Amino acid sequence: MATLVTLLIVILHTVFFLFLLRKYRYRRMRLPPGSLGLPFIGETLQLISAYKTDNPEPFIDQRVSRYGPIFTTHVFGEATVFSTDPETNRFILLNEGKLFESSYPRSIRNLLGKHSLLFMKGALHKRMYSLTMSFTNWSIIKDHLLVDIDRLIRLNLDSWTDRVLLMEEAKKITYELTVKQLMSFDPGEWTESLRKEYVLVVEGFFSLPFPLLSTTYRRAIKTRTKVLEALTLIVKQRRKESEAGEKKNDMLEALLASDDDDFSDEQIADILLALLVAGYETTSTIMTLAVKFLTETPLALAQLKEEHEQIRGRKSDAEAGLDWSDYKSMAFTQCVVNETLRMANIIGGIFRRAVTDINVKGYTIPKGCKVFASFRAVHLNPDHFKDARTFNPWRWQNNSEATIPGNVYTPFGGGPRLCPGYEVARVVLSVFLHHMVTGFSWIPAEEDRLVFFPTTRTQKRYPIIVKRRDQAKPCKAEQCVHNI
């Protein structure tokens, strides 16, 4: 017993000593002010519990008011400098590969795979980034992708009746679009059975990343192997076809042709899976939240409907798909897209690691220190956006966004890692809104009114009751979908 007590006292003293030593070291380094919390776990528990509230940025808000826009904390096992300052965020983004390097937790790497662009560095990153861009830029969208985006969104919406789980539907659409873009597959039995496995992998991103503690995470890692095997078979098949001269215009063909990198079939499957994941949760969330914001802002919804009815009205064939000039004429829609991206902030910020000691605003970020540049904190700060927590698409009208500096509005990041899917995401949301407002009226389903602030609980499914507009009849009942 005495030995046990002695051991406990020794452990407690050691922990206390390490705590003081760590505090002293960090103070000497002139890190931004802040608290490192408890030894080992730091302030991780405060961070996790803060995001269970309906407030969008409780963890950051509290620390900004105590320490200022740049502060130090200790989360997920290491000291991390948080920046909510637009100028510093820009500095971090632009110095990617020079003073900072992309640094995401191992749990994300295990799920995304090491061939994700997010984890590539140097010359390989540059090559793969431009290869990805060559399949996501505006001219590809204009000439090829827009037709598929329009067709697949219509196909999905055509099957809607009565009660729709909006988030689920948006995810299905996003998945089908990406599979088409990457491998030229139209929705069918194979894509649907792959989707069932794939969603289990994605669930892993929203679980505790400890295999021993979380069955969801364990299942995600296991299923990832199965999905990769299925994709590898496709790559092998396509390699044979490609060698026989049967070429397709998709990302997989470009990867097969990029012989200077000489990727194996398994590596290509890994790259495809990472790309499939990259735009999935992000795009489907903005599709869902745009509908939520519009439902709560009837004036904006009315103006949007008018814009899209005019586009429909200009078409001689009522069934004709949208083309590039239609997309370019959606001026108010672009305001809705900008404002949704500002408010929704599905990617709250980005992680980097300092590769050398860096001086920022009178502080030193020491070599090796983790950095988090928060976009959400900037987007929701009333110093940068008036009534920042109100959905106001008109703030983007008359080119007034030109007065908003580039470093203040960064939903897609910036610098060498600017999201390559930024234009695709904008077009998908615009086309989706077009078919939503011209095709349907809707109200949120009774049991799940869309009340809370969206950034905190994106895992909601957002049920809505829909009614095709051509079938809508006036009705006396209050809250009836026919009246909307």
Of the ranges 18-26, 150-158, 164-172, 420-428, which one interacts with ligand HEM (CB under 6 A)?
420-428
Q: How far is the CB of 117 from ligand HEM (least distance, A)?
A: 4
* Cβ at position 314, least distance to ligand HEM in Å: 28
> Contacting ligand HEM (CB under 6 A), which of 63, 171, 417, 434?
417
| 287 contributes a contact to ligand HEM by CB under 6 A | no
Count of positions (residues) in the chain = 484
Distance between CA atoms of residues 396 and 402, nearest Å:
9
Note whether 425 binds ligand HEM by CB under 6 A: yes
Distance of closest approach, residue 419 Cβ to ligand HEM, in angstroms: 3
Please report whether residue 411 would count as binding ligand HEM according to CB under 6 A.
Answer: yes
Angstrom distance (rounded) from CA 145 to CA 151? 10
Is residue 136 within the footprint of ligand HEM (CB under 6 A)?
Answer: yes
Strand partners, 466: 442
Q: Nearest-CB residue to ligand HEM?
A: 421
What is the spatial distance between Cα 304 and Cα 301, in angstroms, rounded to a whole number? 5
User: Between 166 and 205, how does the x/- string for binding to ligand HEM read (CB under 6 A)?
Assistant: ----------------------------------------
Confirm or reject binding of residue 140 to ligand HEM (CB under 6 A): no
First to last CA, the chain: 73
265-269's contacts with Cβ under 8 Å and 24+ in sequence apart are 265/232, 265/235, 265/236, 265/239, 266/228, 266/232, 267/115, 268/235, 269/228, 269/231, 269/232, 269/234, 269/235
- Whole-number minimum distance, CB 178 to ligand HEM, in Å? 7
Of positions 64, 170, 235, 286, contacts ligand HEM by CB under 6 A: 286
Q: Which stretch binds ligand HEM (CB under 6 A): 183-191, 214-222, 389-397, 416-424?
A: 416-424
Part in contact with ligand HEM (CB under 6 A); list of ranges 55-63, 307-315, 359-367, 418-426:
418-426
The Cα–Cα gap between 421 and 198 comes to 20
Closest CA to 414 of 92, 70, 131: 92
Nearest to 117 by CA among 279, 259, 231, 228: 279
How many angstroms separate the CA atoms of 463 and 446, rounded?
9
Q: Is the dihedral of CA 404, 410, 416, 418 positive or negative?
A: negative
Q: Does 454 bind ligand HEM (CB under 6 A)?
A: no
Q: Which of residues 319-348 bind ligand HEM (CB under 6 A)?
A: 346-347
Rounded to 10 degrees, what is the CA torsion of 44, 46, 49, 54? -120
Query: What's the closest the beta carbon of residue 301 comes to ligand HEM, in angstroms?
Result: 20
Residue among 160, 363, 412, 432 that touches ligand HEM (CB under 6 A): 412
Q: CB of residue 424 vs ligand HEM: minimum separation in angstroms?
A: 5
**Contact call for residue 378 and ligand HEM (CB under 6 A):** no
Candidates 34-42, 281-289, 310-318, 354-362: pick the segment binding ligand HEM (CB under 6 A): 281-289
Between 129 and 185, CB nearer to ligand HEM: 129
Rounded to a whole number of angstroms, the minimum distance from the CB of residue 330 to ligand HEM is: 17
268 contacts ligand HEM (rule: CB under 6 A): no
We find the least distance from the C-beta atom of residue 401 to ligand HEM, in angstroms, to be 17
* Under rule CB under 6 A, residue 102 binds ligand HEM: yes
Q: Which of 282, 288, 334, 381 binds ligand HEM (CB under 6 A)?
A: 282
> Nearest distance from residue 176's CB to ligand HEM, in Å?
13
CB 162 within 8 A of CB 466: yes
| b/e burial code for range 121-149 (CB count within 10 A of at least 16 → b) | eeeebeebbebbeebbbeebbbeebbebb
CA atoms within 13 A on the CB side of 34: 30
Total site size for ligand HEM, rule CB under 6 A: 24
Other C-beta atoms closer than 10 Å to the C-beta of 49 total 11
**Least CB distance to ligand HEM at residue 198 (A):** 15
Decide: 213 and 302 in contact? Cβ < 8 Å: no
Interaction of residue 371 with ligand HEM, rule CB under 6 A: no
86 binds ligand HEM (CB under 6 A): no
Q: What is the DSSP string of 25-37?
A: HHHHTTPPSB---
Among 51, 129, 138, 324, binds ligand HEM (CB under 6 A): 129
Going from the C-alpha of 322 to that of each of 220, 308, 313, 365, 432, the distances in angstroms are 38, 11, 12, 49, 11
Nearer to ligand HEM, 19 or 185 (CB): 185
- Nearest distance in Å: CB 85, ligand HEM: 17
Distance CA 381, CA 480 (A): 37
* Residues in contact with ligand HEM by the rule CB under 6 A: 102, 117-118, 129, 132, 136, 275, 278-279, 282-283, 286, 346-347, 350, 411-413, 417, 419-421, 424-425
